Structure formats: C-alpha cells, structure tokens
Amino acid sequence: MPMPGHEIEAAIRAALPDAEVRLTDLAGDDDHWAAHVTSSAFAGLSRVKQHQLVYAALGGRMGGVLHALQLTTATPAA
C-alpha cells in the first residue's frame, strides 16, 4: 500500500517540528515522491546526516510502503 503525502509530511514534522516540507508525487501513485525539506536541525550537518535525519523520521518505511523518495534538504535562509 502506498504512503500518502500527508503521512510523509506528518512523520517528518513529528521528528523535525520546524520543518518546511514540499512534496511532489512524481508518478501520481503515492509511491514515488520528491521531497524538499528545510529545517534548522540540519545546520552544521553534512548532506548525508541531513538525509539520515529525514529517513529516521520515516521510521523504516523507506523501501516498504514508501517505495522511492527523491530528497533535497536545506537550512532556512538567514
């Protein structure tokens, strides 16, 4: 069963409360997503660590109910 966008956003915001999350359903099937996540929690972290925070927020759903996620992370503009 695919993972709807509102569930992805809720999971990310639960772990990163200040996150701004923009989602795009790439295939129209709730199974292939692009996400742009902006959070102050990413400050000073490598891109890999930033992505790991987002994947941790999804609680192991990657590769299962969430088949594909094209992820872009950023810190808020000063």
Q: Domain holding 29: CATH number?
A: 3.30.300.90
What the block records as the tokens of 48 is 């890999």
Number of domains comprising the chain: 1
DSSP 32: E
Burial (CB < 10 A; 0-12, 13-18, 19+), residue 18, is exposed
Q: Is the pLDDT of residue 7 over 90?
A: yes
pTM of the model: 0.90
Q: Is the pLDDT of residue 15 over 60?
A: yes
Domain residue limits at 55 = 5-74
**pLDDT range class, residue 78, cuts 50, 70, 90:** low
Judge whether 39 and 57 are in contact, CB under 8 Å.
Answer: no
Compute the average pLDDT of residues 43-61.
94
Distance CA 29, CA 18 (A): 28
- The mean pLDDT value of the chain amounts to 92
Q: Is the pLDDT of residue 1 over 90?
A: no
**pLDDT range class, residue 28, cuts 50, 70, 90:** confident
